[in-house]
Structure 1
Amino acid sequence: MSSVKEQAATGRFMSFLQEWDHGNKGVRSRILSDFININKGKTGPELELEFAQAASLFLTRLTSWLRLTYMIGTSLTQQLEAINIFLSATSGHRYLIEFLEVGGVLTLLEILGLKQLKEEDKTEAISLLQIISNSGRKYKELICESYGVRAIAECLAKSKTEDLQEQARTLLESLAHGNPKYLIQVYKGLIALLLSTSPKAQQLALQALRATQPIVKTAHPSIVEPLLALLRTLHFEVQYEAIELIKDLMEYEVRSALLSGLVKLLKPPKDNDNNRPGILTDTEVPILSKALPVFVQQAAAAKTTGILAMDSLETAEELVRLEVIHHLLYAMGNQDHADSQRQASVSLECFVRRFPVVEEQVKKTMGEPLFNLFMTDAEALYMKLDPIQIDVLVSNKFTIPGVTDITE
């Protein structure tokens, strides 16, 4: 026979459920607020004690109301916070199972894609998905089977708040760990994010790829083009992460494609804007040259080749074989972009000091006066060049006889 105390607890809980069942939106919002304030951080057994060993009855009501109202956002943040208390409760795995059985994952993923909902609601949904993902491999697979990778990646790309973007990145990384069946799907989803128009999304995708790449153990060829394209960004933090990922990928099969691509970027195609009909040009409006991102990319490529050459003698030799010296000399003559000239000059100095044969041939190409000026202060050389020296650099025909014997 139940004790008087247990009967009293059961009575209070039944009254609580009746108030919820008959309450309007305002009443339910107040109940949720009280529930969150009182029960945050409680364990499964503590929740059962609070709700007379029938906490699941309230969770069922929560999930039912969520499914009915999530599209219009009624008290959505509170509903998700309340469900979070159940799902994150220690020794409360049964609540997780109950939530999943009623289609909880699909509901959360749909919330991420609804434009009319607030970012804070989506942040709460991501938090719940993280709890589910952290519960084990079969739960990660469930999220992925529900097209979760795409939904989370799109949320990251379109979000306007950094907190939501950071949490989405963390969730994608979580789905990559201990989830071999869908690892490549997550990896390709991160690569797709490199094409995002959001600099923050690009930065986070690059960081996630650096964390995920060792797990994948192989680099997909599709990563090369979007990664090199990010070198033209005007956002330094994105360019930094792109260069760091390029350094990491030197250990993978896309190494040759990346090095070849970097060398080609040092000599970009000419801008054809000069062929634009004059009638389309408003002379009263200042125009930002379309070539600017190309020159930024050229400067970043020059910087990256220098970094890679410093990191590895083998990489430096391969870059020389790919005619990087010819392209660096060309970039040094790019009067349209001072940073391209500076970065190319600094990188070229690295190759000259590392390989005597390169030093000898560069000296021949430049001529002794220009070469001495270059070796005195490579970083500031671009400020001292005259038109004849510029022409020498741009029109250079640099080659190394017996290029296979660079180190001799």
Structure 2
Amino acid sequence: MSSSKEQTSISQVMCFLHEWDQGSKTVRSRMLRDFLAKNTGKTCPELELEFAQVASLFLARLTAWIRLTYMFGSCLDLQLRALGVFLSANSSHQYMIEFLEVGGVLTLLEILGQDKLKEEDKTEALHLLQIIANSGQKYKELICESYGVKAVAECLAKSEMEGTQGTAAALLESLAHGNPKYQNQVYKGLIALFACTLPRAQQLVLQILRIVQPIIKTAHHSIVEPLLNLLRSLHLEVQYEAIELITELMQSEVRPALLRGLVAFLKPAKERKPKHKILDASAKTIRILAQRSEEISKELISLGVIHHLLYAMGNQEHADAQRQASLALEHFVRMYPVVEEHVRRAMGSTLFESFMHNADELHLSMDDIQADILQSNKVNISCVLEEQISDS
């Protein structure tokens, strides 16, 4: 660039910055729209060329304005999108450093916690945090050190917009990768999100945990109770993801606790009324687990699953649970002769023949007497019978 062109360019930039400094909110909004139209997608060298090698002067002004006004939501969408031009520009390391040095991460995290701000603005703030996190381990650590996991998790739990939920979930997943110092913090934060009430958020968290669990390697026992409770969900997509995560955790140290919990759900304590979804889902999960592993089948039998499945089959208040329990029991009966013998004795020949003929629809033809017989069963496969199963 010739000296005269350089002078012209510098003069234009100085006029631009002066206009910004003197401008009202309306003027700055117009300037940001022009900036976005001209510079979205540009690289760092291209931005420097546009701003006569002093693009950082505009970045500093933009950042300062965001910090002063973000709580009011004034032009926040334009501000964050303009900031994104700098942070997402190729070779933008210097811009990133300048933004972080003035507390940029804290500002973005604080935006997430402002109840009065628009969801779209929070989504954009999450997007910028994702850009920062994707820049390397030290940036992920900075976000976590700034209580970022808590802020992002709370945003996910409260947001009702799928775009915001999805972006928050992607950021949490990113923070779990390549971040050994804080990966357990992210893991525990995800488990805590099981308690949120939004089905879509629960579904996303379950999906992320299926990805993150192999990174963590060791399953924390705090996951057991809240994960099992998600089987109570009325939303099939949440149930499905919960069952899939339970299945994957069968190779971890929480397997015994998960199996005990599933069996216990089939026959809830007398002081609380059983919910049909937990009966239905637990029987379904038991069937899936047993079909996938003979070892797990044996463990379930040792936990008294046969007695509890018979009991659930007799629960005429919950037809879906009856059906799922019947299908699960059918697997055990066909797999182990010793189970078949005890189930036949508990049911009686007539009901047992109907069961073996069509386990899927047995509940449709069951009368009250048969249901009472199933619920009063005393099936208890002793250690001797467990040895027989092991030898079969």
TM-score with structure 1 length normalisation? Answer: 0.94
Separation in 2, partners of 1:270, 1:339? 20
Q: Residue deviations 1:235-283, cap 9 Å, x none?
A: 11000000000001000000000000000000012356xxxxxxxxxxx
2:346–2:379: 8 Å Cα contact kept in structure 1?
Answer: yes
1:335-346 superposed matches below 5 A? 335-346=316-327
Q: Distance in 2 between matches of 1:337 and 1:247?
A: 25
Residue matched to 2:267:
267
Moved more, 206-215 or 394-403: 394-403
Match of 1:399 in 2: 380
Indicate which of 321, 345, 366 corresponds to 1:385.
Answer: 366
| Structure 2, unpaired ranges of 5+ | none
Structure 2 Cα separation of the partners of residues 148 and 54 of structure 1: 31
Q: 1:248-327 alignment to 2 at 5 Å? A: 248-270=248-270, 291=273, 294-327=275-308
Structure 2 residue identity aligned to 1:304 = T
Inter-partner Cα distance in structure 2 for 1:56 and 1:297? 57
Name the counterpart of 2:180: 180
Report the counterpart of residue 245 of structure 1 in structure 2: 245
Quote the Cα distance in structure 2 between the aligned partners of 1:209 and 1:125.
23
Letter in 1 for 2:385: V
Residue 109 of structure 1 and its aligned partner are, at CA, apart by 0.3
Q: 1:251 is matched by which residue type in structure 2?
A: Q
1:77 aligned partner, one-letter code = D
Contact 2:333-2:343 within 8 A present in 1 as well: yes
| Cα distance in 2 between the residues matched to 1:219 and 1:96 | 35
Q: Aligned equivalents of 2:291 and 2:37: distance in 1? A: 56
SS of corresponding position for 1:181: coil
Contact 2:81/2:124 (8 A) holds in 1: yes
- Aligned partners of 1:184 and 1:216 also within 8 Å: yes
CA distance in 2, matches of 1:404, 1:337: 30
Cα RMSD between the aligned structures?
A: 1.1
The equivalent of 1:285 in structure 2 is none
Query: 1:331 and 1:365 mapped to 2: Cα distance?
Result: 14
Residue aligning to 1:231? 231
CA distance in 2, matches of 1:2, 1:53: 14
Does structure 2 retain, via aligned residues, the 8 Å contact 1:321–1:403?
no
- Return the alpha-carbon distance in structure 2 between the equivalents of residues 167 and 350 of structure 1: 42
> Any conservation in 2 of the 1:32–1:79 contact (CA below 8 Å)?
yes
Task: Report the alpha carbon displacement of residue 359 of structure 1 after superposing the two structures with TM.
Answer: 0.9
Q: Which amino acid aligns with 1:57?
A: L
- Opposite residue 222 of structure 1, the aligned amino acid is S
Cα deviation, residue 2, structure 1: 5.8
Spell out, residue by residue over 1:385-406, the C-alpha distance to the aligned partner (whole angstroms, 9 max, x if none).
1111101100000122413221
One-letter amino acid matched to 2:93: H
Corresponding residue SS for 1:194 = helix
Report the Cα distance in structure 1 between the residues aligned to 2:316 and 2:134, rounded to whole angstroms: 54
Q: Distance in 2 between matches of 1:337 and 1:360?
A: 26
Q: 3-state DSSP class of the match of 1:53? A: coil
Deviations 1:302-325 (A, max 9, x none): 000000000000000100110100
1:283 is matched with which residue? none
Structure 2 letter corresponding to 1:378: A
Q: 1:107-256 maps to which residues of 2 (within 5 A)?
A: 107-256=107-256
Do 2:210 and 2:248's aligned partners in 1 also have CA atoms closer than 8 Å?
yes
Identity of aligned residues (%): 65
Question: CA offset at residue 197 of structure 1?
Answer: 1.1
**SS of the residue aligned with 1:396?**
coil
Q: Quick one: distance in 2 between partners of 1:172 and 1:54? A: 34
The one-letter code sitting in structure 2 at the alignment partner of 1:384 is S
- Show the counterpart of 1:352: 333
| Alpha-carbon separation, structure 2, partners of 1:361 and 1:384 | 22
Taking the aligned partners of 2:299 and 2:92, their CA distance within structure 1 comes to: 57
Stretch deviating more after TM superposition (124-133 or 356-365) = 356-365
What is the distance in 2 between the residues matched to 1:176 and 1:387? Answer: 53
Q: Is contact 2:338-2:385 (8 Å) kept?
A: no
How do 1:57-136 and structure 2 match up within 5 A? Answer: 57-136=57-136
Alignment check: 8 A CA contact 2:156 2:164 kept: yes
Distance 2:222 2:6 in 1: 63
Between the aligned partners of 2:37 and 2:363, the Cα distance in structure 1 is 64
What secondary structure sits across from 1:71 in the alignment?
helix
